[in-house]
Chain A
């Protein structure tokens, strides 16, 4: 009994001091895509010419693979909806009054986030992770390698704050090895009791430098009512 308790205690402290790559990725998933939540967000996409478009939307997530988005702004896309169910995604277009299948690689509303960046945050499932050298002693870095060709990126380098594993920076690479996006996570705040996450994510397009998209979280509630029927194709447009 003594031995067990001692080992447990020692291993707990050792683990706390030096999290593994898998721990970091699991923490990232739990921060960026917790089990069930509802969020109000605003995404501003800045284009090459300096002009920008701002989209208002509501997210509803259930389990690891069910995701729903309702767009409220601007007026030209109001009523548009997206549903993600496992590896499947549909967009509902109010002008057409119907749902259409979409691929994971489609950009999210023409911005610099991919649909998968927003609709599927499940790095632990999609990527193999290893610890990488960090530029700062206050940070930890993991490198993620895609498990299949179905993911949006071939490789991701994720930098987190050592103290609480909150994400600080992400670099996203294509199959050619070229960095195609980079993200900065900032304004970490407590949205729900004990739940902290970055309120602002800036996704920089590294191919077209003048382009970037900024996602600002206005509210984030955990454990909301999310009946399974909200995540069915038949519910789109209702």
Chain B
């Protein structure tokens, strides 16, 4: 009897196994589990990219406090971008992301000696130069799964901030009105060890000091024929990342010498976290450093024309980095959250604190300086290089690519609010971005609508409107004009139409 039972059992076993397709299985499907299949190496060449045309009209604020002579009211950008990825051998690949940008600009406006608006002759300004931009160009090799090396130009961002990344000391700054678009990186070498419990990265980024047509020619030190200094310019960054209690944690150590700013041998520490609570993502990102490379106006020199003349005679600087070598801790901290609604719309709110940002007294010095500019302009003096004015012009990022808005926050407290609603109709996506200086409540409002007309074509219209904020919170020039950070932007509004075709 027992033999019969054993025989039945033995016979029934394969029968049960075969019932995968025709009968009721006993347990999980019986699937042979051989050793993992090592994929054969297939050389993969992957090409993609886009063509972009942007037509932009900027209304120069000729009646404002800043000169508008270098702002083309009408601009046309054409960008052709190609991204190439080639697997050159097993575990190695080459990647490039290169843009060629052609610009045209014209219809300049300024004021004459009597303060009346006049048309200016077209000119070759920095904002209308053609640019070849290498966004990324690198080769990566994985020696073992736990160790890979990358050399070339690459955008590496560790912090979770959406509109602004205080810990990012490597890359060109992102345009906060366009938080979904920034592709340019930094020249660097990275060694990364992704281990089961944490990922460790070390990056060495030599500073590009000379370049020709977008191609870097001198890293680290200045050439002998133009030796501005004899120092080495670089940024060294180390990062440890771990997922702890479902929270992304980054701890960063940065050490730079005359790299992205004027600090010499400057150590800094960065921290960040990101966690999701249901549909809400919460994040924080902080950079801790002593001292500051920020320019502060010399209040005594900008009080009035006489004071300015005395400073000029005494060769006293109008602006200087007065906190460059001090030992006070001056953190930059960003905290924020992003909520995803049931209809896929998204609301993001972030707050940025900069300890070294200008306070009301510093902005008052700025307003006094603008008052001097106003007087100087009426006397026909070229004030385009007035310290601090250039940051308000916008137009190009630090790598030369045209951006919608060059954001260089100089105050202490900012809020970034973004609301995006996809599919408001068909494939139309609406978005509004508000950036506010929380001291003077001056803001920039950036509404946009994007239509994904086809799977390969996006059409966008966008406006950019700086708003003054309440007069009560603004500082005043000696002439009594209210000045707020975004209120003095040298254009009244900017509108653009963009077509982007992907291939």
Q: Which residues on A are within 8 Å of B, measured CB to CB?
A: 1-2, 5-6, 8-9, 12, 15-17, 19, 23, 26-27, 30-31, 34, 36, 47, 49, 51, 53-54, 74-76, 78-79, 85-88, 93-98, 100-103, 105-107, 110, 149-150, 162-165, 190, 192-196, 221-229, 232-235, 238
Distance from B123 Cβ to chain A, minimum over Cβ atoms (Å): 33
Are B455 and A75 touching (Cβ within 8 A)? yes
Cβ of B223 < 8 Å from any Cβ of A? no
A31 to B31, CA, bound (A): 11
**8 Å CB contact of B182 from A5, A86, A96, A162:** A96
Are B26 and A223 touching (Cβ within 8 A)? no
Are B502 and A76 touching (Cβ within 8 A)? yes
Chain B residues, CB < 8 A from A105: 278-279, 340, 342
Chain A residues, CB < 8 A from B283: 101
For A188, the closest partner residue in chain B by CB is B21
Are A223 and B194 touching (Cβ within 8 A)? no
Cβ of B284 < 8 Å from any Cβ of A? no
Given that A76-B502, A107-B344 are known contacts, is A96 also in contact with B456, CB under 8 Å in the complex? no
**Of B241-249, B302-310, B463-471, B476-484, which stretch is located at the interface?**
B241-249
Sample of 15 further A-B pairs with CB below 8 A, known A30-B29, A105-B340: A17-B24, A31-B29, A76-B455, A96-B181, A96-B183, A97-B136, A97-B155, A105-B279, A164-B20, A195-B31, A223-B34, A223-B37, A224-B39, A226-B36, A229-B145
A201 to B93, CA, bound (A): 35
Distance from A93 Cβ to chain B, minimum over Cβ atoms (Å): 7
CB-contacts of B430-444 with A (<8 A): none
Are A194 and B30 touching (Cβ within 8 A)? yes
Interface residues on B, range: 35 or more
Chain B residues, CB < 8 A from A110: 344, 422-423
Cβ of B12 < 8 Å from any Cβ of A? yes
Are B340 and A1 touching (Cβ within 8 A)? no
Cβ of B113 < 8 Å from any Cβ of A? no
Cβ of B212 < 8 Å from any Cβ of A? no
**8 Å CB contact of A196 from B21, B194, B452:** B21
Chain B residues, CB < 8 A from A194: 20, 29-32
Given that A103-B340, A164-B25, A194-B30 are known contacts, is A16 also in contact with B16, CB under 8 Å in the complex? yes
Cβ of B211 < 8 Å from any Cβ of A? no
Are A95 and B9 touching (Cβ within 8 A)? no
Chain B residues, CB < 8 A from A49: 426
A30 to B344, CA, bound (A): 30
A19 to B281, CA, bound (A): 41
Are B196 and A96 touching (Cβ within 8 A)? no
Chain A residues, CB < 8 A from B243: 85, 88, 233
- Count of inter-chain pairs, beta carbons less than 8 A: 188
For A195, the closest partner residue in chain B by CB is B31
Distance from B283 Cβ to chain A, minimum over Cβ atoms (Å): 8
A194 to B30, CA, bound (A): 7
Distance from A160 Cβ to chain B, minimum over Cβ atoms (Å): 10
Chain A residues, CB < 8 A from B20: 164, 194, 196
Q: List 23 A-B contacts (CB under 8 A).
A: A1-B2, A2-B2, A5-B2, A6-B5, A12-B12, A12-B16, A76-B455, A79-B48, A95-B183, A100-B160, A101-B276, A103-B280, A110-B422, A164-B22, A194-B20, A194-B31, A224-B39, A234-B192, A234-B199, A235-B194, A238-B93, A238-B140, A238-B148
Are A101 and B281 touching (Cβ within 8 A)? yes
Are A224 and B37 touching (Cβ within 8 A)? yes
Query: Contact flags (1/0) for B29-63 with A, using CB distance below 8 Å?
Result: 11111111111000000001010000000000000
A195 to B390, CA, bound (A): 65
For A85, the closest partner residue in chain B by CB is B243
Cβ of B28 < 8 Å from any Cβ of A? yes
A193 to B246, CA, bound (A): 37
Query: Contact flags (1/0) for B340-352 with A, using CB distance below 8 Å?
Result: 1010100000000
Are B23 and A16 touching (Cβ within 8 A)? yes
A interface: dominant SS: mixed
For A87, the closest partner residue in chain B by CB is B246
For B193, the closest partner residue in chain A by CB is A234
Chain A residues, CB < 8 A from B24: 16-17, 19, 162-165
Are B146 and A75 touching (Cβ within 8 A)? no
Given that A95-B181, A101-B276, A110-B423 are known contacts, is A163 also in contact with B22, CB under 8 Å in the complex? yes
Cβ of B122 < 8 Å from any Cβ of A? no
Chain B residues, CB < 8 A from A27: 25, 28-29
Are B458 and A76 touching (Cβ within 8 A)? yes
A222 to B28, CA, bound (A): 14
**8 Å CB contact of A101 from B37, B194, B274, B452:** B274
For A17, the closest partner residue in chain B by CB is B24
A219 to B455, CA, bound (A): 24
Are A74 and B181 touching (Cβ within 8 A)? no
Cβ of B331 < 8 Å from any Cβ of A? no
Chain B residues, CB < 8 A from A163: 22-24
Are A2 and B5 touching (Cβ within 8 A)? yes
Distance from A108 Cβ to chain B, minimum over Cβ atoms (Å): 11
Given that A234-B192, A234-B241 are known contacts, is A93 also in contact with B180, CB under 8 Å in the complex? yes
Are A103 and B502 touching (Cβ within 8 A)? no
Are B502 and A79 touching (Cβ within 8 A)? no
Chain B residues, CB < 8 A from A233: 199, 241, 243, 248
Are B26 and A15 touching (Cβ within 8 A)? yes
Are A165 and B25 touching (Cβ within 8 A)? yes
A106 to B48, CA, bound (A): 27
Given that A15-B26, A96-B181, A225-B37 are known contacts, is A75 also in contact with B502, CB under 8 Å in the complex? yes
